[in-house]
Amino acid sequence: MEWKELTNIPDSVTNRWSHSLSVWNETQTTHWIILFGGYKGASSVSDTRFIEIISSTGDLVVQSVLDINEYQKRTVLERIEKANIKDRPVSIEDKKPLMSDLRWLFDSSAAHYMIIGSALDVKVNDLLPTPGAATHNLILVFQRWIESNKGVTWRKVLQVCEDYPDKFGEVKASVERFLLSDRACEKYQDQ
């Protein structure tokens, strides 16, 4: 990844000097910048800020800026949610996704229906790239995949996103958040 200027960063983390900075990649598409202390104007700043950055299609998007307490709370909640998912008899990732969920989660990536279809091993060469038909074609791709009954799981959806991080990095983050949600657990518990 090359260096790029970030925009839409809150004032709480801009225009600092004599501060420490640490950067790490949590996944291929989720990156964190940790900002420690420093000075803002003539005032000393002693707080620590965590800046979450999502990379997708070559763009860097500031997802959230958290203070240390917010970051720790989020980390603890994510661990609890993951532990709860592991305690369930069948992982939600092994459940069959519903068309309605696939549609809203991938809506912003409809233009990539050919890539999605190829990754899901469904026929796409008959889907014409007609202007305005991307969403319709994406629905057909998902219908064909569901009807094929071959590996139709959320795990496969996540794998497609991981295989194409530049195209589906943000979608993957949305899918992961959805799968951890109470809404998804209730919706897929009896499946």
Give the mean pLDDT of the chain: 86
pLDDT on residue 63: 79
Nearest CA among 72, 70, 74, 77 for reference residue 10: 70
Whether residues 63 and 98 fall in one domain:
no
What is the count of structural domains for the chain? Answer: 2
Which residues lie below 8 Å from residue 82, measured CB to CB, with a gap of 6+? 180
Whether residues 55 and 99 fall in one domain:
no
Structure tokens at 50: 């965590």
What does the pLDDT look like over 107-166, one tens digit per residue? 999 999 999 999 999 999 999 888 888 999 999 999 999 999 999 999 999 999 999 988
Share of the chain above pLDDT 70, in %: 92
Query: What residues make up the domain containing 56?
Result: 11-71
Whether residues 110 and 166 fall in one domain:
yes
The average pLDDT across 31-60 equals 85
Share of the chain above pLDDT 90, in %: 36
89, pLDDT greater than 70: no
Say how many C-beta atoms besides its own lie within 10 A of residue 116's C-beta: 26
Which residues lie below 8 Å from residue 131, measured CB to CB, with a gap of 6+? none
Whether residues 67 and 91 fall in one domain:
no
Whether residues 179 and 104 fall in one domain:
yes
Whether residues 104 and 184 fall in one domain:
yes
CA distance 113 to 176: 20
Which of 18-32, 42-56, 129-143 tops mean pLDDT?
Answer: 129-143
